Amino acid sequence: MSYTVKEMFLTLQGEGLQAGMRAVFLRFAGCNLWSGREEDRATAECTFCDTDFVGMDGDGGGRFADAEALADRVLALWGEPEAGGTRLVVITGGEPMLQLDAECLAALKARGFRIAIETNGTIPVIEGVDWICVSPKAGTKVVQREGDELKMVWPQPGLDVSEIEGWNFRHWLVQPMDGANAMAAHEAAIRFVLDHPRWRLGLQTHKLLGLP
């Protein structure tokens, strides 16, 4: 199959337990919870998304004819740094599981990449992904209830925290919701972690550092 990519670039992972790691960031176009058009935001299943995932006009974006072509581009972006470390590709969206398939996974692994995914959890993640980060959205049916990292954007009315805590994740993060009420969201997230010690605060460090 062909793949529609919004953007792809070399950077440092900005969020979660892997923050600060060198990574190729691969953002697939499209999402199953919002069209990406502002006129549809109010009626979307996810109304607070801060990401542009529409089209193929981002840095490194485009349509790739097959998994080999896509993986070759990821490898070219990684380049030839000094020895040491692990090749890491972070696959996101939109919703990456609309496009990520076994062929893409195999092509990336054949080039030595460790594969991380950031998903809303409404579509099962395929076998072979090395790091699964799920960010649940209130009002949606999350089927991917196990993984490495649960990233809960907060505050998010309608999320059942007690239900989420019954899922099978190794790390539990609360990330303040960005936007017009960011300061209040930071305060709410801090209060949440103080009241729920199994969780830890996660920040979008790439925004603090001016990284894409």
Question: Which residues are tagged catalytic?
Answer: 25, 31, 46, 49-51, 118, 206
SS (H, E, C) 118-150: EECCCCCCCCCCCEEEECCCCCCCCCCCEEEEE
- Report the distance separating Cα 80 and Cα 53, nearest Å: 29
Q: What are phi and psi of 8, to 5 degrees?
A: -155, 125
Asked if residue 143 lies in contact with residue 121, where contact means CB atoms within 8 angstroms, the answer is yes
Distance, CA of 151 to CA of 29 (rounded, Å):
21
**DSSP-derived pairing of the beta strands 168-176 and 113-119:** unpaired
Q: Widest CA span of the chain, in angstroms?
A: 49
Distance CA 44, CA 96 (A): 18
Beta pairing class for 3-12 and 22-28: antiparallel
Q: Rounded to whole angstroms, how far apart are CA atoms 134 and 119?
A: 5
What are 127's two structure tokens? Answer: 């076998």
